[in-house]
Amino acid sequence: MRPVMLVVGTRPEGIKMLPIYLALQQANIPVILCSTSQHTTLLADVFSVFNITPDIDLNIMKNHQDLFHITTTVLHEMKHVFKEADPALVLVQGDTTTVMATGMAAFYTHIPVGHVEAGLRTGDIQSPYPEEFNRLCLSLTTQYHFAPTPQAAANLLAEGKKRESVFCVGNTVVDALRIIEHKIKEKSVKISSFVTDFFSKAHARGNNTVLFTMHRRESFNGGILNILKALKTFAETHPDVSIMYPYHPNPHVVSALRIADITSVENIILVEPLSYKDLAYVLLTIDVVATDSGGIQEEAVSLGKKVLILREKSERMEGVWEGLAVLVGCNPEKFIHELQKALLASAYDITKKNIYGDGFAAEKIVKIIQTYYSEYSDMQVPLKHDLNRVSEERKL
C-alpha cells in the first residue's frame, strides 16, 4: 500500500502530530514521517520524548531564516520527497509556513491533504501573522478538514467547505498531554532539576506560581516591552508570587528583556525554552499561565488552569467562553488586574468538559481515514475509546 505521509516542521506540529503517527502504526497503516526541521532543536526534543525518529529530515533551518527561505525551500524539497515516496495521503497540522508550503506542493503533485487542527480563524489576515494567511491558503487545498472544536468546524462550513469533508475530532494536543502526563507519573521521563527546584522553593515559601511566555511577531512593535514592564511591576509588588519565564531567544525579545530590566527582580526566574516534558510538568503544576502561544493556551485550559492570553485576538476562543481564559492583549493595566484576579480565583475543574477534546483525537482521525479512504478500508485500528460511529466524529 502507498503510505500516509506526516509532515512537521516545528515543535507544536510535532507534539500534535506524533499521536497520529503512533495511531497509524497501531493500525498497521504504512506511514512516513517527514521533518522539514523549520525549527531544529525544539522539534528534536519532541521526537526524543516520544522515542520517534523521522524517516526523512530536510534540515532546512538556517541562521536568520525568513518566510521566503522557508516557503521556497519546503516547496522545492517536498516536490522531490513526494516523487520519491509517492504517498496516498499527506497529513499536516496547524498553520506554520511548513504546513502552507507542504499543502501547496501536495496540490501541485495531485496528492490529497488532510489538515489536522483545521478551521481556526481570527478573521484578521494580519493576526496572527503569518499563521492566519497560512491556514486560509491551506484550506483551499485540503480534502479532509480535521477540526478540533465545533466552532472550528462551523468556520469551515461557513466558508463553503463541503459538509462531508469536515470532521470535528478534538485537538490532538490533548492526546499528547495524556501520553506525556502518563510518562511523568510513571517517571519514565526525567524532569529537569531547575524545574522541580522552582516549585519546591515556591511551595516552601507558600508562593503562588505563574508561567509567563511571550514571543509573537505582532508584539514586537512595543507590546512585549509594555507587558514586560508590567510583569516587573507586578513581581516587585507581589513577592509572594514566583514567576517562571522561559524566554524566546529572538533578538526583539532579548532587547525588550534588557530594556525592562527583568533580571533584577528576584521572583522572576528566567530560563531557556523548556523541553516538552518540562513544559508539561510545569503546566500540570503551575497556578496561572500568561502566554501568547496558541498551543499553551490549549494545553493550560485542558488542564483546568487560568490563562491570560497576551494577544489582541485569539482563534481559540473556547477557553474564553468557558471562563478559563481572558484576552489581555498588550494592555499593561489589564494584565496586572487580570493576573491578580486569576491568582485569587479558586481552581476551576473542567476535567469532564473536554473543551479541546477527550484525548483520543488521533484514533478518530485514523478511523476516518480507514472509513473514507479505500486504500485502508480493510484495516482495523484497535481503539481504546468508544467512537460509536464515524458520524459521531463529525457532529457539530
CATH number (domain holding residue 338)? 3.40.50.2000
Kindly list the averaged pLDDT for each block of 10 residues, start to end, along the chain of length 396.
Answer: 94 95 95 89 88 93 86 95 96 96 97 97 92 96 96 97 96 95 94 97 96 80 88 96 90 86 93 94 96 92 93 91 92 96 70 78 96 69 43 39
- Check whether residue 328 and residue 198 sit in a common domain: yes
Domain extent for 140: 4-171+357-394
Q: Please tell me which residue in 13, 45, 131, 338 is annotated as part of the active site.
A: 131
d(CA 186, CA 180): 10
Residue 248 confidence (pLDDT) = 79
The answer to whether residue 243 sits within a structural domain is yes
The answer to whether residues 301 and 363 belong to one domain is no
Active site residue 261: no
61 occurs within a structural domain: yes
Sequence-distant (≥ 6) Cβ neighbours of residue 76 within 8 angstroms:
none
The one catalytic residue in 215, 216, 238, 311 is 215
- d(CA 78, CA 36) in angstroms, rounded, equals 9
Q: Which ranges of the chain does DSSP label H, i.e. alpha helix?
A: 11-26, 40-49, 67-85, 97-108, 131-141, 150-158, 172-185, 193-205, 223-237, 251-260, 276-285, 294-302, 318-322, 332-344, 361-372, 390-394
39, part of any domain: yes
State pTM to two decimals: 0.88
Let me know whether 249 and 295 are in one domain: yes
- The per-residue pLDDT for 386 is 41
**Grid cell for residue 51:** 522515542
pLDDT reported for residue 219: 63
First to last CA, the chain: 33
* Known catalytic membership, residue 218: no
Let me know if residue 102 belongs to a domain: yes
Total domains, the chain: 2
131 is catalytic: yes
pLDDT of residue 339: 96
* Active-site residue (options: 248, 311, 316, 394): 248
**147 & 31 share domain:** yes
Residue 176 placed within a domain: no
Catalytic-labelled residue, pool 13, 45, 77, 117? 117
